[in-house]
Amino acid sequence: MLQKAIKLLNDYFGYSSFRNGQEDIIENILNFNDTLAIMPTGGGKSICYQVPALLMDGITIVISPLISLMKDQVDALTSIGIPSTYINSSLTTNELNERISEVKEGAYKILYIAPERLDSNSFRSLLLSINVSMVAVDEAHCISQWGHDFRPSYRSIKNMINEFTAKPKIIALTATATKEVTADICHLLDISETNTFVTGFARENLTFNVIKGENKRDYITKYIKANRGQAGIIYAATRKEVDELYEFLKKNGTKTGKYHAGLTEHERAVQQEQFLFDQVDVMVATNAFGMGINKSNVRYVIHHNLPKNIEAYYQEAGRAGRDGEKSECTILFAGQDIQLQKFLIEQSTLSNEKKKHEYQKLQQMADLCHTEKCIQTYIIEYFGEDAPNTDCGKCMNCMDTRSKIDVTNEALMVFSCVKRMDERFGKTLVAQVLKGSKNKRITQFGFGKLSTYGLMKQKTEKQIVDFIDFLIAEGYLSLTNAQYPVLELSNKAKQVIVEKQQVFKKEQMAIQAIETNDELFDKLKQVRRNLASQLAVPPYIIFSDSSLKDMSSKCPTTSEEFLQVKGVAKTKLERYGEDFIAAICEYLKVGKKDHDIQTATVRKQPAESNNTSSHLTSYQLYQKGSSIKMISEIRGLSEITVQNHIIRAASEGNPIDWSQIISEDEEALIVEKVYELGTEMLKSLKDALPEEINYFQIKAVICKLTLESVNQ
Ligand SMILES: [Zn+2]
């Protein structure tokens, strides 16, 4: 059975072996045990149910709270030839009915649904009428009220499963679960502890950093500059902060998107799509962004503000490097952020018991920022797992070799000024006094007469504020809880004043690029982007960054070589091989030869595909009169794939009767919108057109227009 699973993994996904942990989990399911899998994000969770689903007779139902993720997963599965679909509130009644009847006909191996769907009686009787072999509960922590995303509908899952006469297998999956939450999942889904697999919370490709007491905007500006062209997410705590940071970065010339709950649904969809399609590099967002974003090539995640707890942090940070490539997670820590999170807890409608729990978690999050031990180890211990024997060796605490500068004198100047202002003012005014500023409030309060007035006049006001932030982060100064927080001296400061302890500040963190330049990699990314916009799927659905990396180091110039690339199997070779191989050949002929490849291979032309290409097979069936639906059934492909095949064949000059796809009226409507909105964003086009016009028709019109313009 396991051998069969490995063969399927190779045939469909292009990997020759399972990753750490996957094999045990899959074997356990194939032995008919209900299973709980706790795997880090990016550890390949979905393979754990997708491969067994192919080995079972009936259909696998995947319950996921994330509507946008469903479409993504289905696109990805469809792109490798696994028949799958989703049913959720984003569908029209027609689409819904169509999919339900297809499910009844057994057209799919995998069906994604939202948990709320289980509350519908008619849907439950549909499930009972078909052969459900497995139920995969994704984001299983949503079942526990101690988890960070409790979803009451998850509680219906067990009841639903009990209604079946032949009980389907259960696999529950999550990336973040404390011991408490794990026990809850097992209890509520009736999974025994022996069937629980924890494959480790460590994310070996991620580097964790905490930056304290530095100016956040300066840091972000430098960081983005050092990592230009890489995709990154910046999380900020409030909508206002997102808006401001977004404007700031745009002014700096960074290709930036933004996302928060204050935007309309349409705006959010557009922003998200631009990020998924690599049209913007940086996404500035509140924590509303990311649930369900499966973009695998996010190279960095920066937390502009302190997250509310370590679970939320690790989940958000974990959106970096899902493709297994080296990526970075950075928290920009400032003392005020703790006040903000406390305020948010205080304002919430949680019970007192739950609030206490949240305060405690916030404290643990703040402790993470102050710890001097390995940050990855700290996180693993937080989740209750035995820490590994060795530290990660790359987080900022493991790597910190910066020299310390004695800043005791400057610190004493600040302490003395705070004291002389009776610990009644905020950091801006303290900084202005130290700078010797002549503004009205200073004259008004008579601060010009203080002995500390102008004591740091050689520094800029911003430098002084940054230094005060550093003293807050290190616990020398504290900010009160009030609406206008006031600076106070802590005991640690008093020790400096009275006991003559020294204050050290480390040199600024040097910012380095996460990746070095690779010209071929950039070219392959361009090929991927072009294909993605032709097929209207996000680029990473075509190939992950790690596949492109591998491609750029292996430089395959034949089909056989191309199959050796990580993540390439037959379907992907057929669909995309030609384009990438052509780009590699072109690069090798004209480019620098710093890639380690033998000249003999360089001269070789890409191998001709010996069988008819997949898209032409679909096209021929279509020309013989088969409907899209029939072809998709015959070939075990999704209808969208078949539609794309036909468009591709047409775009290559094969004759086609367009009137079968679009009426003249519809065509006129689409053409008008294409001229108005362009063809870059299919989704915007779709949204701007009447609901009954589908993507196939839009793509057909674009194809027709392109052909006409070429033939003119
Ligand atoms: Zn470390």
Say if 187 falls within a structural domain. Answer: yes
Say if 6 falls within a structural domain. Answer: yes
Centre of ligand 1 to C-alpha 367, Å, is: 15
Tell which residue, 660, 538, 86, has the closest CA to residue 279: 538
Strand pairing of 298-303 and 404-406? unpaired
pTM of the model: 0.58
Centre of ligand 1 to C-alpha 208, Å, is: 7
Same domain, 360 and 433: no
Centre of ligand 1 to C-alpha 218, Å, is: 25
- Domain boundary, last residue among 337, 367, 390: 390
Flag the least confident range among 312-326, 386-400, 416-430: 386-400
Centre of ligand 1 to C-alpha 673, Å, is: 53
Same domain, 76 and 177: yes
Longest dimension (CA), the chain: 94
Centre of ligand 1 to C-alpha 399, Å, is: 7
Centre of ligand 1 to C-alpha 84, Å, is: 40
Tell me the CATH number at 458: 1.10.10.10
Confidence (pLDDT) at 601 = 31
Share of the chain above pLDDT 90, in %: 36
Q: Dig out the tokens for 662 from the structure.
A: 């679009």
Same domain, 211 and 191: no
Centre of ligand 1 to C-alpha 396, Å, is: 7
Same domain, 192 and 216: no
Say if 560 falls within a structural domain. Answer: no
Centre of ligand 1 to C-alpha 370, Å, is: 14
Centre of ligand 1 to C-alpha 492, Å, is: 27
Same domain, 193 and 215: no
Rounded Cα distance between 37 and 47, Å, is 12
Binned at pLDDT 50, 70 and 90, residue 389 comes out as: low
Identify the residue whose tokens are 């004695």: 406
Say if 396 falls within a structural domain. Answer: no
Centre of ligand 1 to C-alpha 130, Å, is: 50
Centre of ligand 1 to C-alpha 210, Å, is: 12
Say if 312 falls within a structural domain. Answer: yes
Does 191 score more than 70 pLDDT?
A: yes
Which residues on adjacent β-strands are paired with residue 300?
A: 232, 328
Structure confidence by residue, pLDDT tens digits, 474-489? 778 887 766 677 899 9
- Domain boundary, last residue among 390, 416, 432: 390
Tell which residue, 546, 508, 41, 515, has the closest CA to residue 232: 515
Centre of ligand 1 to C-alpha 288, Å, is: 29
Centre of ligand 1 to C-alpha 234, Å, is: 22
Q: What is the 3-state secondary structure (H, E, C) of 290-346?
A: CCCCCCCCEEEEEECCCCCCHHHHHHHHCCCCCCCCCEEEEEEECCHHHHHHHHHHH
Centre of ligand 1 to C-alpha 306, Å, is: 19
Centre of ligand 1 to C-alpha 175, Å, is: 20
Centre of ligand 1 to C-alpha 400, Å, is: 10
Same domain, 235 and 312: yes
DSSP secondary-structure letter at 201?
Answer: S
Confidence (pLDDT) at 419 = 95
Does 279 score more than 50 pLDDT?
A: yes
Centre of ligand 1 to C-alpha 388, Å, is: 11
Centre of ligand 1 to C-alpha 508, Å, is: 19
Same domain, 423 and 481: yes
Same domain, 112 and 248: no
Centre of ligand 1 to C-alpha 315, Å, is: 18
Say if 562 falls within a structural domain. Answer: no
Flag the least confident range among 126-130, 339-343, 585-589: 585-589
Does 682 score more than 90 pLDDT?
A: no
Same domain, 182 and 213: no
What average pLDDT does the segment 20-47 reach? Answer: 86
Same domain, 140 and 48: yes
Centre of ligand 1 to C-alpha 326, Å, is: 14
Same domain, 183 and 216: no
Identify the residue whose tokens are 């490539």: 325
What average pLDDT does the segment 364-384 reach? Answer: 84
Name which residue leads in pLDDT, 329 or 197.
329
Centre of ligand 1 to C-alpha 375, Å, is: 5
Centre of ligand 1 to C-alpha 12, Å, is: 36
Q: Are 524 and 547 in contact (CB under 8 A)?
A: no
Centre of ligand 1 to C-alpha 377, Å, is: 7
Centre of ligand 1 to C-alpha 381, Å, is: 13
Centre of ligand 1 to C-alpha 395, Å, is: 4
Q: Are 131 and 57 in contact (CB under 8 A)?
A: yes
Flag the least confident range among 27-31, 545-549, 603-607, 609-613: 603-607
Same domain, 262 and 335: yes
Does 593 score more than 50 pLDDT?
A: no
Say if 576 falls within a structural domain. Answer: no
Centre of ligand 1 to C-alpha 120, Å, is: 48
Centre of ligand 1 to C-alpha 207, Å, is: 8
Centre of ligand 1 to C-alpha 201, Å, is: 14
Tell me the CATH number at 40: 3.40.50.300
* Residues 6 or more apart whose Cβ sits within 8 Å of residue 437: 461
Confidence (pLDDT) at 172 = 96
How many domains, in total, are found in the chain?
Answer: 4
Tell which residue, 388, 441, 316, 324, has the closest CA to residue 43: 324
Q: What are the CA-CA distances from residue 489 to residues 477, 480, 678 (Å)?
A: 5, 11, 59
Tell me whether residue 342 is exposed, middle or buried, using C-beta atoms within 10 angstroms of its C-beta: 0 to 12, 13 to 18, 19 or more: middle
Share of the chain above pLDDT 70, in %: 92
Centre of ligand 1 to C-alpha 214, Å, is: 21
Centre of ligand 1 to C-alpha 290, Å, is: 25
Centre of ligand 1 to C-alpha 393, Å, is: 5
Say if 568 falls within a structural domain. Answer: no
Does 599 score more than 70 pLDDT?
A: no
Centre of ligand 1 to C-alpha 473, Å, is: 20
Does 611 score more than 80 pLDDT?
A: no
DSSP annotation string for 66-135 = -HHHHHHHHHHHHHTT--EEEESTTS-HHHHHHHHHHHHTT--SEEEE-GGGGG-HHHHHHHHHS-EEEE
Centre of ligand 1 to C-alpha 502, Å, is: 27
Structure confidence by residue, pLDDT tens digits, 262-278? 999 899 989 998 998 88
Name which residue leads in pLDDT, 534 or 132.
132
Centre of ligand 1 to C-alpha 42, Å, is: 19
Rounded Cα distance between 383 and 279, Å, is 36
Rounded Cα distance between 430 and 468, Å, is 9
Centre of ligand 1 to C-alpha 609, Å, is: 48
- Domain boundary, last residue among 163, 198, 233: 198
Structure confidence by residue, pLDDT tens digits, 300-334? 999 999 999 998 899 899 889 888 789 999 999 98
Centre of ligand 1 to C-alpha 209, Å, is: 9
Q: Which structural domain range is residue 237 located in? A: 206-390
Q: What angle do CA 428, 432, 438 make, to 5 degrees?
A: 135
Centre of ligand 1 to C-alpha 227, Å, is: 22
